[in-house]
Chains A and B, each alone.
Chain A
């Protein structure tokens, strides 16, 4: 396998412009001769579907939810970055590029990140034109707030529901194309196999989740925009249905999987309350604009927060990272919270929590102003915890939130399988080892609105493909594989529910491959995960039939893939003998406990190739070069 990144030559700020000119075009009348399958209907998939259909391509969109508007992009709260510099505070495309490369701990591709910063400007314009009700100033102009890892105010937002409003914008643009007949929508459909003909992606096999019917769909290219794989940890801020099945099926068909060990742990989530817990809920990073994070100075201090005097509190982020304070990046803030709790200074039941306190901001601005900024988040917190955050500080703790790793793609967002493109969180390209807040929405929409419409045309214009029907042997083989696997799951009739395996996998991954990883813990995990896989295939109990809605069957298939993906994640974490961004190997840290990179040996992307069942995957390397933002130790002090 060869990893050809296809990064255009020339100065960083001219690469994309030059590439856009050099790419081949499909003339308007010929576009209707090409068809595209898009799996996933979030920001990346929805925006790609709308844009490609507007250009004239025939598009089919698949999502497992009952409507494309449910995709989990909808849950993003805080905002979307763009280098508009509307605040006149020193922002620029180059600064957004610089912040993102540094925030990613020098493990992303410079050229991709610069393109992202460039098109960020167009995204805001496009969304405003679609009617996204961004927050505004009294004069009618757009309002901004600040996010972690930046010293400028460049985040655009719609109350605490930015992801919802951006997704609805993309969804509505896509539904317009559905109404016009240019997009065909398949909701409640799950992709279970990628189909290759002559080494190129030519379609998928999907299951209709209402009737259980196995269907083949053919196209000239396939786009996966299926999100991240963080539910491998079971407890996460992801949706319950979020899964890694589509990218895992593609991996097994030859798409390299890049940096699976780069998982993001978000510092501000509501702590776990009991064994029944099915998910963790995020409290937006935007809260750190006005909330102050602290723990008691004394270990084991069980007093109510109101009884702990100012002098007895440790505002540890302000103390440790004075320049960025409460807005330090996610990986750094999460690890600091863990350290405080490990020292016995955590708060709340079990001592796994820190305070996020708004009392200063309420005194300074009044409760009404805080309600206007964060009202819906405060209500959500109260519904879950039964505590009033206007009176008592919130308790928060880090939780799995995002995966920077994903399928490897070149500059054109094409995977190592020709004709298979990967967008949004499902790919690996832009965030390196740590994503900055408000950059996921930016990337999803950049890929869908402004990158894929250009690069897919170039692929079509430069590739000759024969016409293929679903009667082709490759489709029949894939259908029969899917059918066999589903029947097998239904026939095992073991003792344990699918969820019990998922919980066990999640606990194991969190304990041995979570916020801190060591050689020993990873080797332990690499023993336990395969054993769990073995047990799963002998002892899972899936009731019901394949011909109706069967949520247990859906879950079981996803969990089977998660178990395998978890193993690759641990293997990648073991092989990356350095700490960077969200990947923290306890053996590699500075005396102050910060991540210690090893640029000499690990300044590269690790991309894994599937070598066949039961064989160790092959690790390939794409070297990273930093010509503009020079390698340095990240400091937020």
Chain B
């Protein structure tokens, strides 16, 4: 049986991006990570390195994280060029050190995108995502206005497909992976989730127009079908949702007037 802590500890060399704040340029700094158990998560490995830095009187590496179970979307670093690291469909916090080998060199960088300025070390500002949601990523229904939950049947396949899109955790790996720094996968996931449900129909046209406009305004690039976003997405959101959003967008451009 695996997972029993029987495998041998590893020694690794880390090249980590260190940056004091928004306004100061950063650089890669090399650290040794010794005695790393393969059963540790990637972030637990950084915890160990940080404890050693504190013991030596050096400031620990700042990185974002919270739930450590792959759902909050707060963690995420670029590991050897891959957002969230080498393992498919896995957030950084769920990546375990058994994906690496003794003696490996690992380069750890923050998300790199015009829309996500670095705040410190590996921590970036993703508030642009919140602002895009505030521009239409919702169904306008004030509390108390709802009909009975079973009043409007929803075909199971639509509901399932909506759920596939709704699984997005807003981590931003899609943007970090995209050569254009585009947020199309993120935006299309929300547009598709709400557009697939009957409750989302009244605002479907306005929603896609507004969210795309806001995305452009926030400095994200446009999609040129590299599909890097899909490969990096820890929740396996598919680029078919981008195609769906483009259809909705075109339709809304022409048909959105009553």
Contact = CB atoms under 8 A, between A and B. Distances in A.
B68 A131 contact: no
A243 to B, nearest CB: 11
Contacts of A278: 41, 43-44, 47, 68
B147 A176 contact: no
Interface in A378-404: 379-380, 383-387, 392
A626 interface: no
A70 B66 contact: yes
Contacts of B120: 548-549
A239 B67 contact: yes
B114 interface: no
B2 A386 contact: yes
Interface in A234-277: 237, 239-241, 273-274, 276-277
A51 B143 CA distance: 6
B54 interface: yes
A159 B156 CA distance: 13
Interface in B6-40: 20-22, 37, 39-40
Interface stretch (A120-128, A480-488, A531-539): A120-128
Given A67-B126, A133-B197, A384-B94, A126 B55 contact: no
B80 interface: no
A171 B149 contact: no
B167 A72 contact: no
Contact of B129 (A67, A304, A383): A67
A69 interface: yes
B115 to A, nearest CB: 14
A348 B5 CA distance: 11
A217 B193 CA distance: 36
Interface in B164-187: 166-167, 169-170
Interface string B94-134: 10101000000000000000000001110101110110011
Interface string B53-80: 0110111101011111111111000000
B154 A497 contact: no
A375 B41 CA distance: 21
Nearest to A388: B2
A379 B89 contact: yes
B60 A133 contact: no
A544 B59 contact: yes
Contacts of B193: 131, 133
Contacts of B159: 133-136, 140
Contact of A273 (B3, B21, B57, B137): B3
Interface string A195-217: 00000000000000010000000
Interface of A: 47, 50-51, 54, 65-72, 74-75, 84, 86, 122, 124-131, 133-142, 158-159, 161, 164-165, 168, 171-173, 175-176, 178-179, 185, 187, 210, 237, 239-241, 273-274, 276-279, 281-282, 304, 348-349, 379-380, 383-387, 392, 449-450, 453, 497, 499-500, 541, 543-544, 548-552
12 contacts: A131-B139, A133-B162, A172-B139, A178-B134, A240-B66, A276-B48, A278-B43, A304-B1, A380-B94, A386-B98, A544-B60, A552-B60
Given A136-B155, A383-B70, 18 more contacts: A50-B143, A72-B72, A75-B72, A125-B147, A126-B146, A139-B153, A142-B150, A164-B167, A179-B134, A187-B127, A240-B65, A240-B66, A273-B5, A276-B37, A282-B69, A348-B1, A548-B20, A552-B59
